[in-house]
Structure 1
């Protein structure tokens, strides 16, 4: 029962990452905002997760496990109610970012509690179940949201979270024990503030480019300040005895390469999952419910390939799987770039499936490869860094994709809104294609060998 409560909270956090994407055209129309503004609902949510996630390990040693889990579920529910009742876009964005606090706490605690709650002989099965939840929650997000939008208001996407969160809260309250000792380790508040300010300014600057332009004094000022703050933050973390993020492990070549591959690959996933629902609805004129249904095959294929990649990794290693993944991703993105207003739904669905196969073959094998080359005592730091940079990369990639689409839209020479949107999407997918090519180049640097026993001791 404890596992069900933990999984329910984690499922909602991951489901929320894709559930709102399909509602973006509706939100743009009802709240009278453009793509550059509405994408803040995605980038803002992921930015907060990226800021909170590395702090969860420290916070878990300050507060009892059960109370921390209950707080995470409660704060996510609070954000959901705020978003569901939002009278304007600003309030909706604020509620969405409050949700991010809950998700940033829930995701790492889900794995930590499972590892402490179950004996080693059962842990493999438990982690397998958690893995399935992680894979299927984002896959189901667009489909379930499409059904809701067909019959109800977008606000019901947020109301839908509440019954599941209530069940999760009750089960956690009744069944989850306090597992982590409260040692209350010291940490630097200046580092926490620098992390939030630096990453926040970086993502905000990238988000504002689509409306203000790259030469805007505000954009350039935010970028400059963000770089200075992040440089100071990294320097402080490298010289800290108790860093929030242990950047020293980037000295490990295999981990370093793997981390950047994972971060860029996640940027491909999130930016494409942001753009695809818009393309279905605004480019091909498909309804929200049909968009959700047509996106389901790609999501399910991604989940199944992700599940199978563990066994494939043991047989082929990371480099061969990830190289194949890049080929699939490039094929899918090429089909999206050559899409025209006369394209069929089958064209778009095929491209989506190819892309989802590709990113799945890259993600899990490369992550496993990178973490396996760290010493055992460094694996926790490695996982935290990978997960944090994934969220920041996803937010930045979405912001850049939106900016390039806005530029493409200004160059479109057609009176057809659908044709103009498809034309502008080529600029966004072109950027995602560039990310995939960079990933392919980095993968060539990954060695084919598995780590030796001495390397991880």
Structure 2
């Protein structure tokens, strides 16, 4: 089967897809790659848990802020050049992280990485959906699901090995040649597959989306330091919500919106996006908290903590393409319901782990949980896109991704802050350290364990909510309409 780009030139689909997946893998890997590295980085830079959280939250924040403008970039510029530019930006950020000699430079490098990743994530989804025919879009999401599932899940394993075998800089150093390879392959295999049109950039919308989304994300990011009742948190979130509402209202009024929010009228797009966002809260935040539990409570090394999560990562990787094929045959509703049921049942037991919990038990539990994730995460995205026509793929991709990124940032901030606040509230008075050091150490340990319990149970609550929402999915893929709309660009 021959495939042609928007200029009529033929291209090979397999290397095109592989190049996109490799680029997406590098981008997604960096969302959780620092989870296992947190204790090492905290010691190296002499900073606390609330500060180190910014390496993850800041990355997600900057990435999310780039997503809205990606719609205009995708509609305005050649997708091949845009993909290459995003990968170059990511490479520059990775180089900055690799050579960082203080925490500020490391954080700056993470933000630069995120600027590239924020464009690449929705762009990759748009390019894959534009290249695949409607009846095979489940397979497209299954392939992307390998990356979206494997990369964040394998991050702790990779990070743990790099730290124990080399040092923390290797986390970024090993990614550098992969990024260079992706850029070189992009010049050869990536093609321009999305139609462009000369739409005018609405700067007011850009400002409103940046300040609105940024305010919300910043507010949740400072919770760990400032607390839930602080003026910083309340003011940032209230202002962010207000500006986001203004942004939405403006998109409904102007002729060329930055993001076409009207697509939320499509039932499955809205439901699929909500489910995917809630799953991201449970997944990304969980990937940050669990490695900390394994190292601090169970006393595992960085590499041991990473390897403990490897089985779950591989489970998700192998399940994702199978889920994509099943999705095309049976529809998304049953898959998502079944997947979310497994995720919920697999997450709840983490809230009852102890300092003596078997590592084998945790590995199996995590693998089962990730099996459910694979059945729910990418199908929820495919269900969302099945309601759209190719004309609004870029808008749908951006809205879906910004929702997931915002959810991931908020989820990470909430889980980490809940852990920190619970631990702090239950910690003994420092005077006990002088009177009875052994009792002080025991109470501190119990406070830490309670903090993890609350964080894990909160993640369980999120997955439970997504499970009930999944019953609202409709199996009503408009395949014939999509075939007609996409036939001119794919074959």
When the two structures are superposed, what TM-score results if normalisation uses the length of structure 1?
0.91
Q: Does structure 2 retain, via aligned residues, the 8 Å contact 1:4–1:171?
A: no
The aligned counterpart of 1:342 is 356
The aligned counterpart of 1:319 is 333
Q: Which moved more, 1:31-40 or 1:125-134?
A: 125-134
Q: Does structure 1 retain, via aligned residues, the 8 Å contact 2:145–2:374?
A: no
The aligned counterpart of 1:296 is 310
Residues 371-418 of structure 1: CA deviation (Å, up to 9, x unaligned): 223345444432321122011100011001111111210233562354
Q: Does structure 1 retain, via aligned residues, the 8 Å contact 2:50–2:224?
A: yes
Structure 1 350/2 Cα, relative in aligned 2: closer, same or farther at 3 Å? Answer: closer
Structure 1 318/113 Cα, relative in aligned 2: closer, same or farther at 3 Å? Answer: closer
- Work out the CA distance in 2 between the residues paired with 1:122 and 1:433: 33
Describe how 1:266-281 pairs up with structure 2 within 5 A: 266-281=280-295
Q: Please state how far the C-alpha of 1:18 moved relative to its aligned partner.
A: 2.2
Structure 1 289/321 Cα, relative in aligned 2: closer, same or farther at 3 Å? Answer: same
Q: Does structure 2 retain, via aligned residues, the 8 Å contact 1:319–1:443?
A: yes
Q: Please state how far the C-alpha of 1:210 moved relative to its aligned partner.
A: 1.6
- Work out the CA distance in 2 between the residues paired with 1:234 and 1:274: 32
- Work out the CA distance in 2 between the residues paired with 1:39 and 1:276: 14
- Residue 22 of structure 1 aligns to a residue whose secondary structure is coil
Structure 1 410/265 Cα, relative in aligned 2: closer, same or farther at 3 Å? Answer: same
- Work out the CA distance in 1 between the residues paired with 2:141 and 2:478: 24
Q: Does structure 2 retain, via aligned residues, the 8 Å contact 1:268–1:435?
A: yes
Match of 2:163 among 140, 145, 149: 149
Q: Does 1:200 find its partner at 2:214?
A: yes
The aligned counterpart of 1:165 is 179
Describe how 1:221-260 pairs up with structure 2 within 5 A: 221-260=235-274
Q: How many residues align?
A: 456
The aligned counterpart of 1:432 is 459
Describe how 1:26-425 pairs up with structure 2 within 5 A: 26-113=40-127, 130-176=144-190, 183-375=197-389, 377-412=391-426, 415-416=441-442, 417-425=444-452
Q: Which moved more, 1:116-125 or 1:405-414?
A: 116-125
Q: Please state how far the C-alpha of 1:194 moved relative to its aligned partner.
A: 1.5
Q: Does structure 2 retain, via aligned residues, the 8 Å contact 1:139–1:303?
A: no
- Work out the CA distance in 1 between the residues paired with 2:270 and 2:190: 36
- Work out the CA distance in 1 between the residues paired with 2:84 and 2:182: 9
Residues 242-264 of structure 1: CA deviation (Å, up to 9, x unaligned): 22222112222332222111111
- Work out the CA distance in 2 between the residues paired with 1:237 and 1:188: 10
In structure 2, the gaps of 5 or more residues are 1-14, 428-439, 485-491
- Work out the CA distance in 2 between the residues paired with 1:375 and 1:302: 29
- Work out the CA distance in 1 between the residues paired with 2:191 and 2:265: 38
When the two structures are superposed, what TM-score results if normalisation uses the length of structure 2?
0.85
Structure 1 418/225 Cα, relative in aligned 2: closer, same or farther at 3 Å? Answer: same
Structure 1 192/452 Cα, relative in aligned 2: closer, same or farther at 3 Å? Answer: closer
Q: Please state how far the C-alpha of 1:86 moved relative to its aligned partner.
A: 2.0
- Residue 60 of structure 1 aligns to a residue whose secondary structure is helix
